[in-house]
Structure 1
């Protein structure tokens, strides 16, 4: 289960709607407590997808249906998280004019320890948000999202 505050859901919504029709993305910072991942902060990032990335992984599409977080940005986020005794616990990104279901490319590039929030954005508005996590067969399974208010989220830390 992924616990996230309503205010962070709104930040994700605003950020992916702002970059539509491109995919928006960012990182989830937080902690893991047994089977519960608690999102404590967000680390917005730019979609760094470019032709070099497409060539590197063998997928020739653009920012309207792919996202990429620059490894240097990932490293900065890791350092920022660790300085606060947090971890990168997941990634959020959008699917413009497509369902909030992981693509094959999403699956190939996913890391098993992360939760993946996908927001479906249709005509510039988020219409659905789902969370996914890889199982031991490297297939995505739905992960429940528990939306909390800021007070509840702070108690869960």
Structure 2
């Protein structure tokens, strides 16, 4: 299976960009629903979610984090569970998560890597001065390092 290819419709990418612009200067986030296949991952739906990151969130060391939702994102566990159930009822899966990087490149941070789940795609949109720019996708390799995924727009 070619797991380094993410296929999506142009309007899916536009939804992600619009969400990033509407939440700027905070990070947006959401879920990517679709199917896994021989040719990679195919996006069927995009589910925008609320960024629930707050200053009380902790990292893996248990220390409080000083970053705000302009630098981090979190999706509430109950939202993840409901999305998984809804996807499963439709014969689909959560295949990824998207978020924005306000005034930063669409390249995963170390925090993004620490919180990433294997097999998920991580779509990042760079939003500079309120305007969406570059959109990239990443997935973890067997050494838990991000590798770029090709984004193929389905027409």
Please, which runs of 5 or more residues in structure 2 have no aligned partner?
A: none
> How far did 1:55 drift?
6.1
Please, which runs of 5 or more residues in structure 1 have no aligned partner?
A: 150-157
Paired residues, number: 149
- State the TM-score, normalizing by the size of structure 2: 0.92
Match of 2:37 among 28, 33, 45: 33
Match of 1:3 among 7, 14, 18: 7
2:146 maps to 140
> How far did 1:16 drift?
0.9
| Residues 1-150 of structure 1: pairs in structure 2 closer than 5 A | 1-54=5-58, 58=63, 59-149=65-155
User: Structure 1 or 2: larger helix share?
Assistant: 1
Give yes or no for contact 1:4–1:38 (8 Å, CA) kept in 2: yes
Partners of 2:136 and 2:118 lie apart in 1 by 17
Partners of 1:132 and 1:143 lie apart in 2 by 5
> 1:26-71, CA deviations, whole angstroms, 9 ceiling, x for partnerless residues?
0000000024100000111000001222367533210001000001
- State the TM-score, normalizing by the size of structure 1: 0.91
Instruction: Compute the RMSD of aligned alpha carbons.
Output: 1.2
Partners of 1:141 and 1:6 lie apart in 2 by 22
